[in-house]
Structure 1
Amino acid sequence: MSIDDAAKADLHRYLRSAREALVWKLDGLSEYDARRPLTPTGTNLLGLVKHVSSVDVDYFGACFGRPFDEPLPWFADDAEPNADFWVPADVTRADVLGLAERAWAHSDATIEALPLDAVGHVAWWGDGGQDVTLHRLLVHMVAETHRHAGHADILRELIDGAAGLSAGNENLPGVDDAWWVAYRERVARAARDAVA
């Protein structure tokens, strides 16, 4: 395996793991909890999945002349701002997860077919857009997807206290609930003492 092939495989693996973490944060949640906004800007778990799958397919589809065969009306010129960050009541969780699965399969096909130095064009970056390599877009989407997976971590913890990196890998200290209560109070006390 060439160095470029190994680098592409590593980036693709990191992208896939971020996608999986994002979807995993929905496991076991009610429809309400999957959709409800938990920040003043309306950030919600199902909306994050919709957004990430949508931009993923644009970067790895349209930018390389491989348009996705499903319309994404939330990206239309006349769509309301942030339409890609929330899910209307008549769209099911299964609809969003199905879209994500199809979008990511489409993106993965592009990633697998092209070399890292393949050039695409991002029309929405600056005046007239920019020509960029698959390598740069992989780095961009790994960062973007992990950023939103981090948002999902926090939202899920706010909903029901569930925390961790992925199913079977919490990546947290192996301590009990009493330890977390004491730890949180110690952190809160340090914050209060810092301004006293």
Structure 2
Amino acid sequence: MTTAIATTELSDLLSTLATHRGFLRHTARELTDEQARSRPTVSELSVGGLIKHVRETEESWLRFAVGGAELMVDQGSFAEQDWTDAFRMTEAETLEGVLAEYEETARKTERVLRDLDLNTAHRLPDAPWFEPGASWTIRRVLLHLIAETAQHAGHADIIRETIDGQKTMG
């Protein structure tokens, strides 16, 4: 693949990810910390918790893109992570702080990915939700981040609408 095509592809993928990050951030606009951590549905999900989770997930996959499964697992294995806390904005956290951390992760992701080859592949970590021995390219990781962000932006939109009737796109 030529450099120009690879650069355009990366720009397109990063632009799409940025769009979905924007939807997720927009969903949190004008919420109080209490509203951002509230769980107004039968789900354990909250707007602030979803932003926190998406950021942590992006950080984890960025480590994978740079150094493979070993780096992903050594610095915070999802297999060992307390999933409940990963989806919650704690009393010690603020929405402003969670959003600032998310923005820093976004900048870091874009900066790091610009120096990587999208065709580079790493073996996935051993986990029941991955095919044993499978590998993902950095391109596949970026596509996964787009899907993860879009999915959770939709979850956040439902929660936000339940809190006060506001909608991301309405």
TM-score (norm 1): 0.72
Alignment of 1:54-69 (within 5 A): 54-65=56-67
Bigger Cα Rg? 1
Q: Distance in 1 between matches of 2:17 and 2:83?
A: 26
Matches within 5 A, 1:103-182: 103-125=105-127, 126=130, 130-165=134-169, 170=170
C-alpha distance in structure 2 between counterparts of 1:130 and 1:106, whole Å: 26
Structure with the bigger RCO (C-alpha within 8 Å, sep 6+) is 2
- Closer, same or farther in 2 for the Cα pair 1:2/1:63, shift >3 Å? closer
| Equivalent residue, structure 2, for 1:184 | none
Bigger shift: residues 28-37 or 113-122: 113-122
Cα distance between partner residues in 2 of 1:127 and 1:150: 27
Distance in 1, matches of 2:137 and 2:24, equals 25
Please tell me the root mean square deviation across aligned C-alpha atoms, in Å: 2.5
The aligned counterpart of 1:26 is 28
- Asked if structure 1 preserves the Cα contact closer than 8 Å seen for 2:28 and 2:36, the reply is yes
For the residues of structure 1 that align with 2:89 and 2:99, how far apart are their CA atoms?
11
Count of aligned residue pairs for this structure pair: 162
Partner of 2:82: 80
Identity of paired residues, percent? 28
Structure 1 gaps, min length 5? 171-196
Deviations 1:69-103 (A, max 9, x none): xx76x9582x4332210011012223212221222
Distance 2:122 2:112 in 1: 11
Distance 2:83 2:55 in 1: 17
Structure 2 spans left out of the alignment, 5+ residues: none
Q: Distance in 2 between matches of 1:44 and 1:144?
A: 16
